[in-house]
Amino acid sequence: METTPKPNHTQNFIAILCGGSGPRLWPLSTASNPKQFLPVLSPNSLLTQTINRALKIVPIDHIYIVTNLNYRQTIKKHLPSNFPKKNIILEPQKKNTLMAMLYTSLIIDKKHPQATISFFPSDHFIKNQNNFVSDIKKSFNLAKTTNSIIIFGIKPTGVNSSYGHIQIKDKQTDFYTIKKFIEKPDLKTIKTISQNNTIFWNSGIYTFTVKTLIDLVEKHQPQYSLNLIDKNLYRAYQKCPSLSIDVGISQKTNRILLIPGSFLWSDIGEWNAIHKLLPKNANLISKFSQDSLFLSVDSKNCLVSASPNKLIGLVGVKNLAIIDTPQGLLVCRLKKSYSVRELVSNIVSHKNTSPYFLDKYDPNKAS
């Protein structure tokens, strides 16, 4: 691989992707108040937790937030008071991670042509903060010295078809080359590939130099015209396809390396993931918020959430998520909670139910 001069640490940046709608955590996560704005496993929202992690790595003026116009006002409630307003990047429409990363990279590149950027999803839960900080700093150096995209892999702790999987190839000093990406394989495939101990979960945390990303976009996705994005942003977003960086770039290049994450990670993508991380009573029952009130008889391994003025009663049930809000009630098997996304697709596809995710329902009419 090519080598570059000694890394310049003053050119390190973090961009936080904050445009998702979190449908798998319905009914708490909705279109106008998605999961990154919810206090999960902490008094702080997931976005605020992400910003606090970033501040351990770079100064506040080197942190950018990438979101869409719909969240322009909401997002300000979760930012430090001294967060630079110019560092909030508003996309005109949702076009997945590749477009968000490219647009952000071009903005940072105008002032910092030697920039290296680490992109953090805004809705992940991470423990072992010191390990995380050390790993991110390592990725900055590796991205500069190898001119490669760096991705963090998480060693699987179970079987999960909601995650993209990565099969590694050769081990170097403290990173791996990648054999292939396996995008959200079915359970049968996971059980087959997990036996060879070369599989990692895709964390979605990416680090690269702006030059590396532009080179790879020009090679593998030339329809993302850099001049078009620079001269007419709205037209660019209309014309360019909606692609994740995994599908658009990572799966097409050999200029990508994997660092095994040495931190505890969860994408908090579904209720089962939250249940696993929450404290539980003797019957393995957990509650999403401390003020949720429940009583149980002959029930085990459940997750409950309700407003403090409502009592949840469990009788003879097992392995369920029961999530109650003023606008919706979800009851599902914990191991099937990844299918809540499909439920939300059904909700928004019908005129009479779509308001219950899009936050346009009339509570008086509903009652």
To 10 degrees, what angle do helices 46-55 and 129-146 make?
Answer: 60
What confidence tens digit (pLDDT) does each residue in 157-210 have? 877 777 788 888 888 888 999 998 887 767 777 777 666 778 888 999 999 999
> Is 258 within 8 Å of 154 (Cβ atoms)?
no
Q: What is the DSSP letter of 74?
A: H
- How many C-beta neighbours within 10 Å does residue 76 have? 13
**Residue pLDDT, tens place only, 105-150:** 999 999 999 999 999 999 999 989 999 999 999 999 999 999 999 9
* Sign of the alpha-carbon torsion through 47, 84, 107, 257: negative
DSSP string, 91-154: ESS--HHHHHHHHHHHHHHHH-TT-EEEEEETT-EE--HHHHHHHHHHHHHHHHHHT-EEEEEE
- From the CA atom positions of the chain, what is the Rg in Å? 21
Domains and CATH numbers, the chain: 9-266 (3.90.550.10), 271-366 (no CATH)
| Beta-strand relationship, 125-126 and 320-325 | unpaired
Q: What is the mean pLDDT of residues 242-255?
A: 93
- CA dihedral 358→243→143→259, nearest 10 degrees, is 70
pTM of the predicted model, to two decimals?
A: 0.90
Of 220, 212, 25, the closest CA to residue 119 belongs to 212
Cα–Cα distance list, 20 to 89, 100, 101, 123, 206 (Å): 14, 11, 14, 9, 17
The DSSP annotation for 187-235 comes to: HHHHHHHGGGS-EEEEEEEEEEEHHHHHHHHHHH-TTS-HHHHHH-HHH
Other Cβ atoms less than 10 A from the Cβ of 243: the count is 17
Share of the chain above pLDDT 70, in %: 93
Can you give the pLDDT at residue 107? 94
- Sign, CA dihedral 321-324-325-328, equals positive
Looking at this protein, which amino acid is placed at residue 147?
N
pLDDT of residue 4: 47
Across the range 256-269, mean pLDDT stands at 92
pLDDT higher than threshold 70 for residue 32: yes
Give the confidence band of 366 by pLDDT, cuts at 50, 70, 90: very low
* Residues 181, 151 contacting (CB under 8 angstroms): no
Q: What integer pLDDT is reported at residue 249 of this predicted model?
A: 94
3-state class (DSSP) for residue 47? helix
- Helix 210-220 to helix 96-111 angle (10° resolution) is 130
User: Looking at the predicted structure, is the pLDDT value of residue 237 above 70?
Assistant: yes
Give pLDDT, residue 364.
Answer: 52
Joined tokens for residue 183:
């995008």
Strands 286-287 and 293-297: unpaired
Confidence band of 279 (pLDDT split at 50, 70, 90): very high
Compute the average pLDDT of residues 308-316.
93
Q: Write down how long the chain is.
A: 367
